[in-house]
Structure 1
């Protein structure tokens, strides 16, 4: 016997995942997580292919959004992000995902949780993973979500309607402080690092300190076993320094190798999430790196190109293009204070229907 659960499948930014109404999932977190693993990867063993579920066998396509009307007075929706770990029968709920966030309001409109307005719909989304709020602006001509348009984001073919995400007060959302150690620069295993959390915990390191250029392809970096081993040893120590505890089984912090930009951006990046090189860069990871590039004394600031006077837009280069982050910065204090970060994303509804999971997943432990 199987249980049918309504879902929608969206591409959000350069990721894609399953979107659920919280009311359609078990209220018990442990049972809910078993259901999500079964929906994405299947039952009886997850070898990384996710052949018995709806997942794509890649961290970027093994994601879940759980959405409901918000319980907060200052928000319209509650959004919980769940990363179903590829190759492991477990989930990770520590981090946010800004890419999947891009599909939350379109999903909520399609599911009847939010009423679309004429022209565009502004919705405040409470991100449960970090207890922060983001204003999401979706194009809704004639009271319907518009998916086609002229906006282009790297990592996604073609164009689509723009979705604006204005992140408010996300500094330290996971670690408790923008710079969790209190320093723009730390040394771990004789390597200088910047540990930062402006919506996503990230460890920023110079690529040159590992004997590489920082311009290598993802395939080249993924094949470099010695590099990945060194990064993991640093990550394990950085996790404790950032207040995240033992991160051996966690997907944060992300590891980001930086180099001077080559294509007109502010900084060049190669990001690991956490052990596989990302073909682009995560939304909130880009915010953290962009922030580091303007803070004095950080690893990124030492390599970053000079900003045009008065510009608030920072272009973060990555393997498949660039990611633009617009930062609102208060420079009146001795150390710059980040007030908000604005990002352009797109999303598209791919399918909707029911996903079937065995009743044994709900009744009995796996």
Structure 2
């Protein structure tokens, strides 16, 4: 069996990790590129013959190149390998992997280091939106050492600040893709929001749970999972997502009152398993639901004051802090920028090998 070498880097970005590639090192043809990524990460559920970890959070890829846009430095395409299904999904963004895109661009020589902090504007090809990353680059190089801490990741690292510019409608075309603040499916009220990530927000109590169960408990609740899937299949087309059977979005998020001083507590299915945390852009969409008048979150959320507004989104392994700059001049509040703290670390750098036919 002959093998083909492909240059790559592997980063932990936020609470995920993935393989990072220069676009020029991959096939230009989309189908051929996707087949290569499946081989690189692994096609079966264990991903035993690839570099994926057998988990959606570790089965991700980023494809990066210089951008031709005036408002961006680089282009970034996120690719999710759907574990065990031998296919990829490029529908949604991934804010965790995005945190590694800036460091990758510096390490790969795509962008120069400017000062103690380097700002990299990233065009997210999945959504067409732009995010500014603020990287720590003292002494003219990337550093991964620092005192920033995020839940779901051990230890501390250098901060990566992610400032998202007006990401409403990233996948669905509008902030409220159904046109409503509240929809009802199978008797369950929900607020459907796409502020960087399509999320269906529902009250946990309406689904017969407390919202404080462990992910293991919820993943063992087959009746709940079947009910969520039935709702998901009905609301997906109404969110302009078409048939969402097997798709990565929308995320299904059940909310309850905060228990650790935050703004809201969450349990999120991404898409069919309840995860230990809430995704980066998922947290932005949930936080946005919290500020919408008459949403399902209105009487549950504990909101502070100020603009930008600081919200702590609680999840099973901790919390996710979101800063929302809000324009209150329209009928509904509009988030003009969302700021989040992430960290990233370079894990490996070299060539991976793709098996070719004998």
- Per the shorter chain, which TM-score range? over 0.9
Deviation at 1:305, TM superposition (A): 1.1
1:224 correspondence with 2:225: no
1:56 correspondence with 2:57: no
1:331 correspondence with 2:328: yes
Map 1:271-286 to 2 at 5 A.
271-286=268-283
Match of 1:109 in 2: 106
CA contact (8 A) 2:252 2:271 kept: yes
1:205 correspondence with 2:202: yes
Deviation at 1:31, TM superposition (A): 0.4
1:257 correspondence with 2:254: yes
Give the one of 289, 293, 305 matched to 1:292: 289
Q: Please list every run of 5 or more consecutive structure 1 residues that lacks an aligned counterpart in the other structure.
A: 362-366
Give, in whole Å, the separation in 2 of the partners of 1:241 and 1:31: 32
Match of 2:143 in 1: 146
Deviation at 1:274, TM superposition (A): 0.4
Runs of 4+ in 1 over 2 A off after TM superposition: 308-311
Distance 1:311 1:110, change over 3 A: closer
Match of 2:12 in 1: 11
Match of 2:25 in 1: 24
Which SS does the other structure have where 1:102 is aligned?
helix
Deviation at 1:115, TM superposition (A): 1.0
1:69 correspondence with 2:70: no
- TM-score for the superposition, normalised by structure 1: 0.96
Q: How many residues align?
A: 357
Give, in whole Å, the separation in 1 of the partners of 2:308 and 2:326: 11
- TM-score for the superposition, normalised by structure 2: 0.98
Match of 1:134 in 2: 131
Give, in whole Å, the separation in 2 of the partners of 1:353 and 1:65: 16
| Per-residue CA distance 1:214-262 (angstroms, 9 max, x = gap) | 0000100011111000000101111101000000021100000000100
Deviation at 1:311, TM superposition (A): 6.0
Q: Please list every run of 5 or more consecutive structure 2 residues that lacks an aligned counterpart in the other structure.
A: none
1:91 correspondence with 2:92: no
Give, in whole Å, the separation in 1 of the partners of 2:284 and 2:176: 14
Match of 1:364 in 2: none
Give, in whole Å, the separation in 2 of the partners of 1:34 and 1:360: 14
CA RMSD of aligned residues (A): 1.1
| Per-residue CA distance 1:294-332 (angstroms, 9 max, x = gap) | 111111222111324556111000000000100000112
Give, in whole Å, the separation in 2 of the partners of 1:300 and 1:228: 21
Which SS does the other structure have where 2:109 is aligned?
coil
| Per-residue CA distance 1:258-288 (angstroms, 9 max, x = gap) | 0010000000000010001111110000000
Give, in whole Å, the separation in 2 of the partners of 1:26 and 1:359: 15
1:161 correspondence with 2:158: yes
